[in-house]
Structure 1
Amino acid sequence: MPTPPLWKASIVLNKKDAPDVVAALELIPPLPQAVLTEEDPFRDDGVVEALYDTPPDGDLIAKITGRQVHVQLLPDADWIRLSQQGLPPVRAGRFFVFGSHDAGQVPHGVIPMRIEAGMAFGTGHHETTALCLSVLSDLAKTRRYDNVLDLGTGTGLLAIGAAKLWKKTVLASDIDPIAVEVTRENAVANEEGPRVRALIADGPTHPTLFEKAPFDLILANILAGPLTHLAPQICAVLGKRGTLVLSGLLHWQENLVLSFYRPHGLTVKEIRRDGSWSALVLQKA
């Protein structure tokens, strides 16, 4: 089956500036399918590459990042899957996330999750995903969650993690049909196919999600814009004393996002940060 065309935007820069440029690329529309950093350990410079399913605006990216941008159409290939094949495994809390190329490196005493990205976001390598996994791992130390929703599931990584922790059915929704299919494949590969129920939905008002509410745990690793827009809907399906984990936002966006959730009776339990990114752990009174 032919893959859809992809465009690549490349920026050559100093390695120390790469995290800030990566964070900017993940917020500039159109949103990229993946952002990768290539670095030589013996040189100070590196390359940041973003992959898009629609042509990016190189002039806009250059204006915002203050750097020269090279945009090109890539040959027909599954570049996102290929780009993930060399990534190292990730340890986040009790979880060990790896790809097929790392299948022989799983240590003892961890919860292993084999995730193949394909055309969906979320392999555990991005700071926001790793933050959410570490939060999940710690939440399991103090409480059981029986009704969990992973909103904007991507590869299904967080939904699979929740299913492994609490051995309960987890709803995993995404607006992207490809992400839903990837989630189903990953759930089966991790022996959680029966527990992870993936469906296409554009938000918590979807009939299936609304019918299963209230949830005692909602995971939403999406961007700050959707988090603010969906705040009333998310709060409406979160149960009393329910826990809400929000990520996909930068440090300077924390107060903005919180301002949309505090009026609905949510309080901050914890804020975790990694690099430029944050994860908010909230609880409903």
Structure 2
Amino acid sequence: MTLKIKRHATALETISVVVPEEHVEIFENALGTICPTVGIFEEDSDKNIWRLEGIKDVGYGEEELANALTLANSISGISPELHRKATESDGWLARTYEAFPEQVIGKRFIIRGTHLDDTPTPSHLVLTLDAGVAFGSGEHGSTRGCLIALEKIAHSKPKRILDLGCGSGILAMGAGALLNKKVLAVDIEPWSVRAAKQNVIRNGLRNLVICEHGNGWLSPSIRKKAPFDLVFANILARPLCKMAKDLAKNLAPGGKVILSGLLATQIPMVLIAHQRQGLKLQEKIIQGSWAALILYKPTTS
């Protein structure tokens, strides 16, 4: 196997904070204002302490970052120290490539980086992503859980499919490739939509996956195509809870939803919010510290 190392034009740095579990999503959003990807790592399992890391260009977005952290501090009531360290661009890419080998997920999927030039494992659906922006795209427990969940519900043959908060588009592509159905992929971040479109083209799925910029359930394209037979929402626990009512409203009777982006410890909170809207639990899938939930909307009698 050969690794293709490409150079980054500007100097990079890693920024990080260490916070208690209950404040993870607040500070993930803060770092995410300027970092294309934010990694979440367990720092102390006994105390439920987590480290959040993002990589960005040196000097980029300093004012936005300061404002986002000030808001996060105010909301959370804590003020974690922001750590910085220089990150060698070539070294970072090399480590990223080494940390992103071929990912075999479930029985059907393989996720591969563009840096791999060997022949992929046969008899699987292969999804290819740029390893330079692929954090959380197969090696992350929430993504793996969603793809495993997709395999489990594929027999229901959903026709109207939505990937809400699509990010890289990996779940939309997985659904399109496995089910051979059209998928609407929507994200509030323009750069995510651009990356998703590139990935869709790279994987030859332009006829199946439609990527659009939109603000969640307020998106005109989502309103036009609802109700859905299958919805992916790999976001964060609290936003999932807030959107539970809209999700139930836009899910067709008998439809299923795959929820993730939540820690296993957050399952009760997310589950209760959706059960209050009439959705039922079909299955929990645990991947490390992360969980994915398969819920369904009962058919009316």
CA deviations on 1:13-68 (whole Å, 9 max, x unpaired) are xxxxxxx989975652414423277xxxxxxxxx984336654759x7xx9899x8
In the alignment, structure 1 residue 123 sits paired with structure 2 residue 134? no
Please give the alpha-carbon distance, in whole angstroms, between the structure 2 residues aligned to 1:99 and 1:262.
38
SS in 1 for 2:126: strand
Does the 8 A contact of 2:281 with 2:296 survive in 1?
yes
Give the AA of the match of 2:55.
L
In the alignment, structure 1 residue 165 sits paired with structure 2 residue 169? no
Please give the alpha-carbon distance, in whole angstroms, between the structure 2 residues aligned to 1:5 and 1:64.
30
User: Residue 39 of structure 2: which of 32, 35, 41 is its match?
Assistant: 35
SS in 1 for 2:184: strand
Matches within 5 A, 1:107-186: 107-116=121-130, 122-140=136-154, 142-186=155-199
- Shift of the alpha carbon at 1:102? 2.1
Does the 8 A contact of 1:149 with 1:170 survive in 2?
yes
- Shift of the alpha carbon at 1:5? 8.8
User: Residue 9 of structure 1: which of 7, 10, 15 is its match?
Assistant: 15
Please give the alpha-carbon distance, in whole angstroms, between the structure 2 residues aligned to 1:239 and 1:198.
22
In the alignment, structure 1 residue 245 sits paired with structure 2 residue 258? yes
Does the 8 A contact of 1:23 with 1:276 survive in 2?
no
SS in 1 for 2:122: coil
Of the structure 1 ranges 169-178 and 108-117, higher mean CA displacement relative to structure 2 is found in: 108-117
In the alignment, structure 1 residue 91 sits paired with structure 2 residue 90? no
What is the match of residue 259 of structure 1? 272
User: Residue 288 of structure 2: which of 272, 275, 280 is its match?
Assistant: 275
Does the 8 A contact of 2:31 with 2:65 survive in 1?
no
Please give the alpha-carbon distance, in whole angstroms, between the structure 2 residues aligned to 1:117 and 1:224.
26
CA deviations on 1:207-253 (whole Å, 9 max, x unpaired) are 11011011000000000121112111111111000000000001221
CA deviations on 1:72-94 (whole Å, 9 max, x unpaired) are 4768x699877643311211111
Does the 8 A contact of 2:256 with 2:297 survive in 1?
yes
Does the 8 A contact of 1:270 with 1:281 survive in 2?
yes
How has the CA–CA distance of structure 1 residues 69 and 156 changed in structure 2, closer, same or farther, with 3 Å as cutoff? same
Please give the alpha-carbon distance, in whole angstroms, between the structure 2 residues aligned to 1:197 and 1:182.
13
What is the match of residue 43 of structure 1? none
Matches within 5 A, 1:204-223: 204-223=217-236
SS in 1 for 2:276: helix
How has the CA–CA distance of structure 1 residues 190 and 79 changed in structure 2, closer, same or farther, with 3 Å as cutoff? farther
Please give the alpha-carbon distance, in whole angstroms, between the structure 1 residues aligned to 2:224 and 2:285.
31
What TM-score comes out, normalization by structure 1 length? 0.79
- Shift of the alpha carbon at 1:95? 0.3
In the alignment, structure 1 residue 104 sits paired with structure 2 residue 103? no
What is the match of residue 205 of structure 2? 192
- Consecutive unaligned residues of structure 2, counting only runs of 5 or more, are 1-7, 42-50
Of the structure 1 ranges 211-220 and 227-236, higher mean CA displacement relative to structure 2 is found in: 227-236
What count of residue pairs does the alignment treat as equivalent? 263
Does the 8 A contact of 1:3 with 1:78 survive in 2?
no
Please give the alpha-carbon distance, in whole angstroms, between the structure 1 residues aligned to 2:95 and 2:221.
35
- Shift of the alpha carbon at 1:184? 0.8
Give the AA of the match of 1:155.
S
CA deviations on 1:113-141 (whole Å, 9 max, x unpaired) are 1012555764211110011011112222x
Does the 8 A contact of 1:155 with 1:179 survive in 2?
yes
SS in 1 for 2:206: coil
Does the 8 A contact of 2:31 with 2:54 survive in 1?
no
What TM-score comes out, normalization by structure 2 length? 0.75
What is the match of residue 16 of structure 1? none
